[in-house]
Structure 1
Amino acid sequence: MRAPLKLYLAGPDVFLPNAAAQAEAKCRLCAEFGMTGIAPFNPDLDMARPAAQLWQEIYADDLRMMRESDAILANLTPFRGASADAGTLVELGWFLGQGKPVFGYSNSAVSFAARSRAQPDDALPGTAIEDFGLADNLMIEGSLTLPLTLPPDGQCRPFDSLEIFQLCLEGIAGWGQGFNR
């Protein structure tokens, strides 16, 4: 019998006011699909430590969880801008560099080009906007083991909705049947 696929659940969900509940819900859904969710939520760390120590401990703890994981499932819903969360993208790149499977979903049905056009053009006016009809930057989508899971009806979901996360788990479950660890 194979061990359950261990998924590192990356994303800016850790910044939500209900981060602990969101992490628990995602881990429960993973278990329903026969997988183990590893949420980078660090409640056991001493949050009273000085910031200079705390961020390093969070980083080290997240790296430990990433090493223990077989694959990443990243929430690539746009966060604080036109694209996915920067920290999540670093984690996605780490898994890609390790040769581990990379999966992602987005609750946004708006194209990357449309979101980019809506951003203020203060920093570099007149720069080109990447328009390949993709949901995010081509390097993000190109890194994924399976296509980015998006709302099938073309309608955006709330940031914390788990509906598209669950659809992504269904795809991973089908893919994972042929995966040997």
Structure 2
Amino acid sequence: MTAYLAGPDVFLPNATAQAARKIAIAARYGIVGLAPLDDASTAAMSEDQAWRAIFHKDVAMMEVSDIIIANLTPFRGASADAGTLVELGWFFGHGKPVFGYSNSAVPFAARSRAQAGRIADDVAGLMHESFGLADNLMVVGAVEFGGSCPVVLPHAGEELAFDSLAAFERCVALAARRLRGDGI
């Protein structure tokens, strides 16, 4: 079983080491993890060439992956990383199992309201999605109905560091059990 390890972890200053830790955790559960790291080959490219090369490399990795395990921890806003959400939608749209986790237990509505308090909405009176979910309902729905499991969150409202791997490991274990048919 091969898993595409999506998430904003690629932006961490220690992205390569973080990816290695995630790959090792996945391996302990019998899953081959593929981390979409930007490699040195793009360093000599123009920005225009580099982003296209990265896009095509990532899509090729997604095509050979059986599942996605997505880091849905809020990134630079109230919601998950935009690129990760595109990847999650790609897997859902291709009928491949979708699993996700977040290091934040704060509901999306609370994060959204807090962000709106700091940055005014372009249109006054916009409502906030308020279903008590970990993220936008389409994100949570893609995970729940694409992998038959809820988004894995920290225990009892605990907040984890952005780079914590505790929820990731619980998500990997859940995915491994689910894919073996052991249920959740």
TM-score class normalised by the smaller sequence = over 0.9
Number of the residue aligned with 1:24:
20
TM-score by length of 1: 0.94
Question: Would the aligned equivalents of 2:101 and 2:167 in 1 still touch at CA under 8 Å?
Answer: yes
Number of the residue aligned with 1:172:
175
Q: Which amino acid aligns with 1:142?
A: G
Number of the residue aligned with 2:136:
137
**Separation in 1 of the partners of 2:137 and 2:42?**
38
Question: Which string of whole-angstrom CA distances, capped at 9 and with x for unpartnered residues, describes residues 27-53 of structure 1?
Answer: 000001110000001224231210000
**Separation in 2 of the partners of 1:63 and 1:178?**
28
Number of the residue aligned with 1:149:
152
Question: Would the aligned equivalents of 2:3 and 2:67 in 1 still touch at CA under 8 Å?
Answer: yes
**Separation in 1 of the partners of 2:150 and 2:175?**
11
| Structure 1 vs Structure 2 CA RMSD | 1.1
Question: Would the aligned equivalents of 2:27 and 2:33 in 1 still touch at CA under 8 Å?
Answer: yes
**Separation in 1 of the partners of 2:81 and 2:42?**
24
Q: Which amino acid aligns with 1:159?
A: F
TM-score by length of 2: 0.92
Identity among equivalent positions (%) equals 56
Instruction: Compare 32-41 and 113-122 and name the one that shifted more.
Output: 113-122
SS in 2 for 1:54: helix
**Separation in 2 of the partners of 1:125 and 1:53?**
40
Question: Is residue 55 of structure 1 aligned with residue 51 of structure 2?
Answer: yes
After superposition, where does 1:30-179 map in structure 2 within 5 Å? 30-119=26-115, 120-144=119-143, 145=147, 146-178=149-181
**Separation in 1 of the partners of 2:158 and 2:120?**
26
Structure 1 residue runs of 4 or more that deviate by more than 4 Å after TM superposition: none
Q: Which amino acid aligns with 1:104?
A: G
Question: Is residue 8 of structure 1 aligned with residue 4 of structure 2?
Answer: yes
SS in 2 for 1:109: coil
**Separation in 1 of the partners of 2:89 and 2:41?**
25
Q: How many residues align?
A: 175
Q: Is there any run of 5+ residues in structure 1 with no aligned partner, and where?
A: none
Q: Is there any run of 5+ residues in structure 2 with no aligned partner, and where?
A: none
The Cα shift of 1:14 comes to 0.3
